Amino acid sequence: MDSPLTTYLLPAALAVIMFGLGLGLTVADFRRIAACPRPVAVALVCQLVVLPGVCLGLVLAFDLSPALAVGMMLLAASPGGTMANIFSHLFGGDVALNVTLTAINSVIAVFTLPVVVNLSLDHFMSGTDEALGLRFDKTVQVFLVVLVPVAAGMLVRQRRPRFAEHSTQAVKLTAVVALIGVIVAAVVAERNNVLGYLADVGLVVLLFAAISLSIGYGATRLARGDHRQCVAACFEIGMHNTTLSMAIALSPTLLDSTRMAIPSAVYAVEMFLMAMATGFLLRRIAPPESAAAVSAGARPAAAPASPAQGKPTA
């Protein structure tokens, strides 16, 4: 995996990805938690505690190879992806809640992700020929590579809001193009093993995606969230930031493992299809007022009836 492409381009792409995330965040995103504390708390517990537990259960039940097991745990520990905001908007979710959850979870994941990955490496890789670790020095690297660019992006957003708004899409596009190049190179290098990896991890990823989406909606509903909040939590919890998890797995200064990136790559494809199907299902079960709100977002609301059109008065 060591090459100029991965050695220099991938760490730079990861930093740009996180800088782009920071450009989209403001302090107000964190303050918004006061408006809906219960859905936020439930979603964060699901994201940070329940999903890693579910993922561990699936990994053990299907007896995945050590590298794929660590890759699954890395995926589970990754925060929600920005695509969750888009799907939430399309299918009538509370997008403001999505933004709040993304902001809070992205910062918390800086601390929890290295812990989960370290524990996974110790459990699954210890004593194997492939043993490696995200030890303290690499934990610090993850912290710096993730948190510093996010903080820098937020600072730019605060000081130069107009520049931040105009450059966000360009920054994201640049990072994604660079990451795609690295992923293609990694897949080519492992082309003889890719189909085997897909066969090994495809069903596990599918089950994890389905459970994640279900937990997101169901747990928020149990916490008495309304339908729009449940939709937002469904996509936020279900759609992990696979760009981040793949970048960490492939980075030669972090995990440097194509096999650990396979679960995230498979998840990115399967989750997109499952999220679309889930979105249409959520539209069908939406209560009348929520369905009306979704429709109102797609077309102007009807003008109020004039007195002449109403019922005759006595």
Confidence of residue 180 (pLDDT cuts 50, 70, 90): low
The values of phi and psi at residue 97, to 5°, are -65, -40
pLDDT in tens, 13-47: 667 766 776 776 666 666 666 667 788 888 888 88
Q: Do the Cβ atoms of 262 and 68 come closer than 8 Å?
A: yes
Domain positions in the chain are 4-298
Phi, psi of 80, deg, nearest 5: -65, 150
Fold of the 4-298 domain = Na+/H+ antiporter like fold (1.20.1530)
Give residue 50's pLDDT. 92
For residue 270, pLDDT beyond 70: yes
